[in-house]
Amino acid sequence: MSTVLITGGTGALGTRIVDRLRRDGHQLRVLSRRAGAGTHLGDLNTGAGVAEAAAGADLIVHAATDSRRLRCPDPVQTEHLLRAVGDARHLLYISIVGIDQIPFRYYRGKLACERLIADSGVPYTILRATQFHELLAAAIGAAARLPLAPLPLDFRFQPVATADVATRIAELLDGEPVGTAADFGGPEVLTLGQLVEIWRAAHGGPRRTVRIPLPGRIAGGFRRGVNTCPEHRDGTETFAQFVAENETNPYAR
């Protein structure tokens, strides 16, 4: 049994990681900005409370992110965490497949976090995963409320279940730090158009869609599917199974 600090342990993926590691019998610390939401109150943007949460933790899962802010603060958050980790024997960072090939601002921030961790001297594993089912479901669900949904229907995705990613994280955490782990993807690579059809079959909408031909390198990357890893169809739950089984979505708050 180890003491594990989980940043982002109240998020979409983090709650799955917490469930999984608790079942495995670890002692858990969950950092949150919201009193009572985790076990430790703290803020990675300022560093407040982070050292207290990290003190004595041998393992760290860094799954916190602030993707909603235009100027992504994730590198600052990662710096504050790295200053607090002490002599942890393994830090696992969850990242995203293809971030080095898509010049999206949030992805640049994730790449900077990867580099900070790799250069920190802390023994680490970086696991890049594909987009979560919840993220794509929230995006399609929001578009479905429009009378006509304009969508980049030719973008490609390989949606993965957060529970499957959490299982992989638990396995990696059990072993020695590996540096960069193999990418982790869902069982199917599908276009957004195909994902919309799956959503429509379950929810009856969007009633009408129109393909928007987005220009630029970001759109080109998603169109080519550089955010997918077809050689790693590791997750087990398909998007159709997720849609059939989940009525609520943590991103649709």
Alpha-carbon distance of 159 to 228, in angstroms, equals: 9
CB of 77 to ligand NAP, least distance (A): 6
Instruction: Report the DSSP pairing between strands 190-191 and 156-157.
Output: antiparallel
Nearer to ligand NAP, 213 or 247 (CB): 247
CB of 208 to ligand NAP, least distance (A): 26
CB of 188 to ligand NAP, least distance (A): 15
Residues found near ligand NAP in the complex (CB under 6 A): 7-8, 10-14, 31-34, 37, 43-45, 63-67, 77, 94, 96, 110, 129, 131-132, 135, 250
E strand residue ranges, the chain: 3-7, 27-32, 40-41, 59-62, 90-96, 124-129, 149-151, 156-157, 179-180, 190-191, 209-211
Nearer to ligand NAP, 213 or 245 (CB): 245
Alpha-carbon distance of 81 to 188, in angstroms, equals: 34
Nearer to ligand NAP, 63 or 102 (CB): 63
Nearer to ligand NAP, 32 or 209 (CB): 32
Alpha-carbon distance of 111 to 113, in angstroms, equals: 5
Alpha-carbon distance of 241 to 162, in angstroms, equals: 13
CB of 107 to ligand NAP, least distance (A): 9
